[in-house]
Amino acid sequence: MRKFLKIKKAATLTAITLTSLFATVSCKKSDSNQPVDSKQHFTIASWTKDSQYIASVPSLADGSLTFKGNGIEAQGSRYFWHKGYVYIMNLPEKKFIQYQLNADGTVKQLGYLLTDGIVPNYIQSINAVDDNTLMVFGANDSGDDNGRVGWARISTSDFRVVAKGVLQVPSNSSRPGLKFFVGKGFADNGKFILGGYFYDSDTKSYDAAGVKRGEHLTGCALQQVRDAAH
């Protein structure tokens, strides 16, 4: 467990922020325009050319931060904050890692899952189904397996895989360079809705038309996503 120091920020770092706000609001009518006190927590992910780090800060409006000599090296490509934990896909080590963020600014690794045996490559999409469940999807396979995406349902309390499988996504065998990349998803009314986009590696461009209806197993894909979330 290590604590990040609140000192001058290194100029070579670029940061992205995941924000979560917690507020307790009274329903009692009041004529006062005074703002309601709220607790807030900000998770910072930052990287240089070769290294990536995460930190916890109480404010983005003042103060400064450095990762030099402190923190946890994350090497992540996907970051997801949920209920006091940060989840990171570590690409070089092929690990999906759970970190706990403490109120004093410390960050502690609680556990990890090796993506081999869960998804065929790496986890691309991380989503919350409920307070204690994550739904993750792997990247689209290459070559002959284009159109197949691994999925897993993960319990956050003990950080284990409770179900996994393979999802058929839109593909066209006559255009092997055109792939569907899974995006964010959400659970609603007993179903899991998954977004995504098409990218053509042959033309090196996004493809708005993608794969037209009838060129892939649309019904099968939607049914499998729905079943995976239960």
Tell me the sheet residues that pair with 87: 80, 98
What tokens were used for 211? 């794969």
pLDDT mean across residues, the chain: 73
Q: Given a cut of 60, is residue 154 above it in pLDDT?
A: yes
Average pLDDT estimate for 30-58: 66
Same domain, 53 and 109: yes
Same domain, 123 and 105: no
Q: Which of 114, 146, 173 marks a domain boundary?
A: 114
Average pLDDT, stretch 159-163? 96
- How far apart CA 84 and CA 118 sit, in angstroms, is 24
pLDDT of residue 163: 95
pLDDT above 80 for 14: no
Tell me whether residue 180 is in a domain.
yes
Q: What is the DSSP string of the chain?
A: -EE---SPPPTT-EEEEEEEEEE----S-----PPPPEEEEEEEEEE-SS-EEEEEES-SSS-----TT-SEE--EEEEEEETTEEEEEETTTTEEEEEEEPTTSEEEEEEEEESTTTSSS-EEEEEEEETTEEEEEEPPPPGGGTTEEEEEEEETTTTEEEEEEEEE----TT-TTEEEEEEEEEEETTEEEEEEEEEETTTTEE-SS-SPTTSS-HHHHHHHHHHHT-
pLDDT for res 8? 33
Residue 143 sits in the same domain as residue 72: no
In this prediction the pTM is 0.65
Total tally of structural domains belonging to the chain: 2
Residues 70 and 123 placed together within one structural domain of the fold: no
Q: How far apart are CA 83 and CA 103, in angstroms?
A: 13
> By residue range, what is the domain housing residue 43?
1-24+39-114
Statement to judge: residues 108 and 202 lie in one domain = no
Residue 157 scores a pLDDT above 80: yes
Confidence of residue 168 (pLDDT cuts 50, 70, 90): confident
Give domain status of residue 30, yes or no: no
Does a structural domain hold residue 31?
Answer: no
User: Where among 114, 136, 168 does a domain terminate?
Assistant: 114
Give 221 or 87, the one with higher predicted confidence. Answer: 87
Q: What is the pLDDT of residue 134?
A: 96
Is 55 within 8 Å of 46 (Cβ atoms)? yes
**Residue 58 and residue 10 in one domain:** yes
Q: Which residues pair with 112 in a beta bridge?
A: 97
The b-or-e profile of 43-67 (16+ CB within 10 A means b, else e) is: bbbbbeeeebbbbbbeeeeeeebbb
Asked whether residue 34 is assigned to any structural domain, the reply reads no
Residues 109 and 152 in one domain: no
- Is residue 90 pLDDT above 80, yes or no? yes
Contact 81, 18 (CB under 8 A): yes
- Any domain includes 33: no
Average pLDDT over residues 214-218: 46
Clarify whether residues 135 and 70 are in a common domain. no
Residues with Cβ within 8 Å of residue 144, at least 6 apart in sequence: none
Asked if the model's pLDDT at residue 27 lies above 70, the reply is no
Asked if residue 197 and residue 166 are part of one domain, the reply reads: yes
Q: Max CA-CA distance within the chain?
A: 66
Residue 64 lies in a domain: yes
Q: Is the residue at 5 inside a domain?
A: yes
Of the three residues 84, 114, 144, the one that is the final residue of a domain is 114
Verify that 48 and 121 share a domain, yes or no.
no
Domain co-membership, 92 together with 124 = no
pLDDT at 187: 87
